[in-house]
Amino acid sequence: MQADVASLVKAAGAAAAGGRWQEAEHLWGRVHALDPDHVQALFSLGVHAFQRGDAAAALELLQRARQRAPRDPMILLTLGRVFRETGKPEQEWAAIIAALEIDPYFLPALLGKAEYIERQGRTRAAAATFRDVLRVAPPEPEWPPALRRRLEHARDAVQRDTEELVEFLGQRVAARRTTVDQALTARWDEAVSILAGRTRPYPSICNQLHVPRLPALTFYDDAHFPWMRELESRTDVIKSELQEMLARRGEEFVPYIQYKPGDPVNQWDKLNHSRNWSGFHLYAHGKPVEEHLAECPHTAEALALVDAVEIAGLCPNAMFSALAPGAHIPPHTGETNARLVAHLPLVVPEGCTFRVGYDTRAWREGKCWVFDDTIEHEARNDSQQLRVILMFDVWNPLLALEERELAAALAAAMRDWREAAPAT
């Protein structure tokens, strides 16, 4: 008999998968006749009865299935659906909660809980549960087809609640913000955004040397960089040299991202070996590109003004960085927070933006800024023209001079370790 039951179960599953519902129900009926306590048969026949509109039969079959499999949350959740359709909300809620007591991370039950709360008109409480749903759910491209529509609703409900909450929180603290120094207001804008769940905190994430206890600041105050105004005053001559290099040596603007075959490229797949983001290097990985520096003497003089980082094999770096029309540099983080990165915008059409953590800015020709590239950042050129900046490294001004030496020594020691020949 067991062989017959197994064969019928397999056939019933295939029929259901193929959408042949009557055939599936007939086969489950045969399983039930052979084994009246077969849980899957009881459950499936209960579902078929419910689909036919026979709620009484569905409840009887599903209750019997529950008696035989009391730890199956799907049976409880299906019972809850029948209770809902038969106008028994209290019993529906009890079934949902019972399912979650068995498995607090059972996605269909979490969805059912949020939807129940929403139907009661408690949209804010529902949004809180929908947030839990989205935390438990897999990434959106992997959402189960059977749940996609409901998960899309959850996502939209959370987005609406988030925007309303941001507005509410902003209004509540608006009066107090006027008493805070203007330079600090962005901190509290971001605090509102994080509290509302619209954004997350952006820490410093270093791919190589991380100096602990340095603050994760997005853009640094210009006052830290006494060379900045003099550099900005030379924008016109630097731009002139850039334009000459574009005209005469444009082929030497090489793709910035150049992974070898077989290397994992991750977020860089669209830019790998692409001239959508290219650079004319003046310094690269700590070494001067003498030929290019000789071609750009005014730019070389300007770079000599800055507090350039010297970490062997890593810094300084300096280049004319060109971003093609429509190109996007995806979110990423840099190598070490011992150094910062400066931009001097030279050719900036409308529609070009740069985000570091929470803060988004538009470049303005001739206005330099310095940022921490170990905080997630990205760039966009949504214009129809080329965007070019002079990009270069500087020391983090919050490091003492002695600490610079420590940073350079640590980075060099790590490099020596990795490159050392194995002992024989």
Given a contact cutoff of 8 angstroms between Cβ atoms, the answer to whether 218 and 183 are in contact is no
What is the Cα–Cα distance from 38 to 208, expressed in whole angstroms?
58
Higher pLDDT, 300 or 259: 300
Does residue 191 lie in a domain region? no
The whole-angstrom separation of Cα 42 and Cα 74 is 13
Residues 313 and 240 in one domain: yes
Q: Considering 160, 175, 197, which residue would you say is the last residue of a domain?
A: 160
What confidence tier does 148 reach under pLDDT thresholds 50, 70, 90?
very high
Mean pLDDT of 228-252: 96
Claim to verify: residue 152 and residue 276 sit in the same structural domain: no
The whole-number average pLDDT for the span 365-375 is 98
Answer yes or no: is pLDDT of 424 > 50. no
User: For the domain that residue 364 is a member of, what is the CATH number?
Assistant: 2.60.120.330
Q: Is 194 in contact with 200 (CB distance < 8 Å)?
A: yes
Whether pLDDT at 184 is above 80:
no
Q: Is residue 239 part of a domain?
A: yes
**Are 231 and 352 part of one and the same domain?**
yes
Average pLDDT over residues 347-353: 97
- Specify the 3-state DSSP secondary structure of 309: coil
Same domain, 156 and 42: yes
Confidence label for 2 from pLDDT (cuts 50, 70 and 90): low
Same domain, 250 and 136: no
Residue 126 counted as domain residue: yes
C-alpha dist (Å) from residue 25 to 46, 196, 197, 265? 10, 48, 46, 50
| Last residue within a domain, chosen from 111, 134, 160 | 160
Give me the chain's average pLDDT, please: 93
Q: What pLDDT, on the 0 to 100 scale, is given for residue 9? A: 79
Q: How many domains does the chain have?
A: 2
Give alpha helix (H) positions in 137-226.
Answer: 148-177, 185-196
- In this structure, the answer to whether residues 235 and 122 fall within a common structural domain is no
Same domain, 246 and 141: no
Sign of the alpha-carbon dihedral angle for 11, 12, 18, 22:
positive
User: pLDDT tens digits for 54-78?
Assistant: 999 999 999 999 999 999 999 999 9
Domain contains 176: no
Q: What is the pLDDT of residue 14?
A: 87
Residue with tokens 């997350």, as numbered in its chain: 200
User: Are residue 235 and residue 153 in the same domain, yes or no?
Assistant: no
The mean per-residue pLDDT over the stretch 233-249 comes to: 97
In a domain, 289, yes or no: yes
Statement: residue 111 has pLDDT above 90: yes
Q: Considering 118, 137, 160, which residue would you say is the last residue of a domain?
A: 160
Stretch 385-393: mean pLDDT, rounded?
98
pTM of the model: 0.81
pLDDT-wise least confident of 145-154, 323-332, 406-415: 406-415
Tens digit of each residue's pLDDT (9 = 90 or more) over 12-33? 878 888 888 888 888 888 888 8
Same domain, 264 and 409: yes
**Both 101 and 231 in a single domain?**
no
Element (H, E) at 64: helix 55-68
| Stretch 244-271: mean pLDDT | 92
Quick one: 234 and 130 in the same domain?
Answer: no
The CATH number of residue 11's host domain is 1.25.40.10
Write the CB contacts of 254 (distance below 8 Å, at least 6 apart in sequence).
275, 278, 279, 280, 281
Full residue range of the structural domain in which residue 373 is found:
222-419
The more confidently predicted of residues 204 and 312 is 204
Mean pLDDT, to the nearest integer, of 366-371? 98
Domain presence at residue 308: yes
Same domain for 226 and 87, yes or no, is: no
Tell me if 24 is assigned to some domain: yes
Q: Is residue 193 part of a domain?
A: no
